[in-house]
């Protein structure tokens, strides 16, 4: 696999004007203290906020995220000493880790969620699977990490970590992989952690561009287009502080399973011979050659029950319990007995329609009312995530209610079940007012929050560039990887 330079991750010299310079300096010092040598290069991978298109990527439908300022930074060194990986986290709450790169395993604990370094190992494994064995050679990697993407907040801290590992490993091993390939590898290898994510987080991590959001398509293949947001649009991210760890519960995978089942049932009823392989609505829609509205009507007509039991699903699909467990469920959803197929399918289809309207509104020449239209779409998106997809949280809903009362369109962002909302304001001034309002009506009521330290909890955000490699001073600088 070789990279086309136009589509490769940029490799730059680290300069004092870099937005993360002081964090990188702090990380450098930490690295030198831990490993007694200078790092060879740094990696920056941003978190993201998804503006609209939630829980549709794993159904093959487009999403509209942008990269945020918060990121994972790595300082990396490598030598031909042995095959070991040495990992350090600048945050003392995370243990040191060491393993043999030739023989590590990623075992997922049944409870509590995976340890932090397992996300890193996913990235290493992803690259090893995609380069020749002789290229894997014998390299010891020393890595120090600094992250300021709030954990469990729906801003993609886990995927940024996996993607940073993919990028660092590919660079250390001189694998020339373009950004799309790195995004796809990162999306697939993150599934070793047990969640069946759709690829949005890794795609925006590598393909983001400063100043615009990205319209990311997954079907028939990964494709991004820059979307110019209205000039006066100002997005605010507010963390409900209800933490989520999607790898520690089965909620996320349950939704994926329900979507896949809905898709298979419709495909079977529509007499597709390959219905067993139809796992994504985008593929089904393309085979049906119909519009999203028609697919919506079809889903309502075919998926009539409010709740499907296991038996209902087995009868619909005419398969055995064994086949069902092996082909339709994941290890952490094996015990599922009730399925809300209609509600999940309708959310996915209607949300995808909203993404289309959001995009065309951004691209339209209308001179007034854009922000209103976009805000309404965001409000509808939240309503659907709360009621049809059931992935909100009472604290998130409270933030949304306060926003709505103030006339600000907002929605949960990321997987949900806690984490952040994203809100759309029509100017920097009104975003400041809105931030003050949330501080007063939401954050001042929370005893667990230090009121003076809210800048990473509620903030206005502007679209940033995607992942990059920064060369530490004296090293030779290859132009691209």
In whole angstroms, what is the distance from residue 22 CA to residue 38 CA? 16
- Supply angle C-alpha 56, 47, 65, rounded to 5: 35
Task: For the CB of residue 303, give the shortest distance to ligand GLA in the complex, in Å.
Answer: 21
Closer to ligand GLA by Cβ: residue 146 or 202: 202
State which residue, 57 or 258, has the beta carbon closest to ligand GLA. 57
Q: How far is CA 371 from CA 182, 377, 412, 447, in A?
A: 34, 10, 18, 34
- Cβ proximity to ligand GLA: between 39 and 466 the closer is 466
Q: Rule CB under 6 A: which residues touch ligand GLA?
A: 50, 54-55, 57-58, 156, 159, 197-201, 414-415
**Are 154 and 421 a contacting pair, CB within 8 Å?**
no
Which lies closer to ligand GLA via its Cβ, residue 194 or residue 463? 194
DSSP-based three-state secondary structure for 67: strand
**Token duo for residue 302:** 């075919």
Catalytic residue among 201, 251, 397, 426: 201
201 is catalytic: yes
Please identify, using beta-carbon distances, which residue of 39 and 199 lies nearer to ligand GLA.
199
Cβ contact 154:416 at 8 Å = yes
CB atoms within 10 A of CB 37: 11
Q: At closest approach, how far in Å is the CB of 262 from ligand GLA? A: 16
**279 Cβ contact partners less than 8 Å away, ≥ 6 residues apart:** 260, 263, 264
Q: Could you tell me the sign of the dihedral formed by the alpha carbons of 62, 67, 73, 74, in that order?
A: positive
Give the nearest distance from C-beta 252 to ligand GLA in angstroms: 7
| Residue closest to ligand GLA, measured at CB | 197
Q: Which helix (H) or strand (E) holds 249?
A: none
Q: Helix crossing, 281-288 with 341-363: angle to 10°?
A: 80
Q: How would you class 87 by CB atoms within 10 Å of its CB: exposed for 0-12, middle for 13-18, buried for 19 or more?
A: buried
Residue placing its CB nearer to ligand GLA in the complex, 108 or 449: 108
Report the DSSP pairing between strands 11-13 and 468-471.
parallel
Give least dist CB 102 to ligand GLA, A: 29
CB 407 → ligand GLA: shortest distance, Å?
A: 26
What's the N-to-C CA distance of the chain in angstroms?
Answer: 12
The residue (of 58 and 104) whose beta carbon lies closer to ligand GLA is 58
263-269: long-range contacts, CB 8 A cutoff, minimum separation 24: 263/59, 263/345, 264/317, 264/328, 265/302, 265/303, 265/313, 265/316, 265/317, 265/341, 266/298, 266/299, 266/302, 266/303, 266/345, 268/316, 268/317, 268/318, 269/302
Nearer residue to ligand GLA within complex by CB, 199 or 409: 199
The set of catalytic residues is 201
């Amino acid at each position: 696999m070789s990279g086309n330079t136009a589509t490769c991750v940029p490799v730059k010299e680290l300069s004092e004007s870099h937005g993360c310079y002081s964090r990188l300096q702090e990380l450098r010092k930490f690295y030198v203290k831990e490993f007694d040598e200078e790092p060879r290069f740094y990696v920056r991978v941003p978190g993201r906020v998804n503006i609209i298109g939630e829980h549709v990527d794993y159904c093959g439908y487009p999403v509209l995220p942008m990269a945020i300022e918060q990121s994972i930074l790595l300082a990396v060194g490598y030598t031909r000493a042995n095959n070991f990986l040495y990992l350090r986290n600048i945050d003392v709450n995370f243990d040191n880790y060491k393993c043999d790169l030739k023989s590590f395993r990623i075992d997922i604990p049944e409870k509590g969620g995976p340890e932090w370094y397992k996300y890193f190992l996913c990235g290493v494994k992803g690259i090893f699977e995609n380069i020749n064995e002789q290229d894997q050679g014998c390299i010891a990697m020393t890595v120090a990490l600094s992250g300021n993407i709030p954990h469990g907040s729906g801003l993609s801290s886990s995927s940024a970590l996996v993607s940073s590992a993919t990028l660092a490993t590919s660079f250390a091993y001189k694998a020339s992989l373009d950004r799309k390939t790195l995004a796809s590898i990162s999306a697939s290898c993150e599934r070793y952690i047990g969640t069946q994510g759709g690829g949005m987080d890794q795609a925006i991590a590598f393909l983001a561009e400063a100043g615009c959001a990205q319209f990311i398509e997954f079907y028939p293949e990964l494709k991004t287009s820059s979307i110019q947001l209205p000039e006066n649009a100002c997005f605010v991210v507010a963390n409900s502080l209800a933490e989520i760890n999607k790898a520690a519960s089965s909620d996320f995978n349950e939704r994926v399973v329900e979507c896949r089942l809905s898709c298979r049932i419709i495909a079977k009823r529509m007499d597709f011979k390959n219905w067993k392989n139809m796992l994504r609505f985008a593929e089904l829609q393309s085979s049906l050659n119909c519009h999203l509205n028609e697919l919506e009507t079809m889903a309502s007509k075919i998926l009539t029950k409010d709740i499907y039991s296991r038996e209902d699903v087995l009868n619909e699909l005419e398969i055995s319990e064994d086949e069902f467990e092996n082909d339709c469920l994941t290890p952490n959803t094996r015990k599922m007995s009730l399925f809300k197929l209609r509600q999940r399918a309708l959310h996915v289809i209607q949300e995808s329609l909203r993404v289309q309207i959001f995009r065309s509104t951004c691209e339209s020449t209308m001179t007034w009312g854009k922000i209103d239209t976009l805000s309404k779409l965001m409000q509808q998106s939240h309503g659907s995530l709360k009621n049809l997809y059931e992935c909100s949280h009472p604290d998130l809903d409270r933030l949304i209610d306060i926003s709505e009362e103030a006339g600000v369109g907002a929605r949960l962002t990321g997987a949900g079940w806690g984490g952040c909302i994203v809100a759309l304001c029509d100017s920097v001034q009104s975003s400041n007012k809105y931030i003050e309002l949330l501080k007063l009506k939401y954050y001042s009521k929370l005893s667990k929050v230090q009121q003076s330290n809210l800048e990473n909890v509620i903030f206005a955000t502007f679209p940033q560039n995607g992942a990059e490699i920064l060369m530490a001073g004296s090293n030779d600088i290859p132009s691209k990887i």
